[in-house]
Amino acid sequence: MNKVDMVDDAEILDLVELEVRELLKKYQFPGDAVPVVRGSALQANEKPRTRRRGADLEADGGVDSYIPTRRGRWTSRF
């Protein structure tokens, strides 16, 4: 989720996340299994890399935990 820096109430963020998950389920995606990472693209762009590294790692971890690593030959074409 983007623009979490503009919301002061954590409950609203929880409700938005719940609605996103329900919408994913409505369209037959695994809404409960999809990792949701909260962040702010504006803050990530404005702050030095060392200060925003935690959010980057959280997003990378979410992707790594959900998308499987390709096994087999890396030289083959898709």
Cβ-count burial 14-50 (b if 16+ within 10 Å, e if not) = eeeeeeebeebeeeeeebeeeeeebbbeeebeeeeee
Task: Report pLDDT for 57.
Answer: 61
Mean pLDDT, 10 residues at a time, the chain of 78 residues:
87 93 93 84 70 60 71 65
pTM of the predicted structure, to 2 decimals? 0.64
Please count the CA atoms within 13 angstroms of the CA of 12 that sit on its side-chain side. Answer: 7
- What backbone torsions phi and psi does residue 76 show, to the nearest 5 degrees? -75, 155
* 75 secondary structure, DSSP code: S
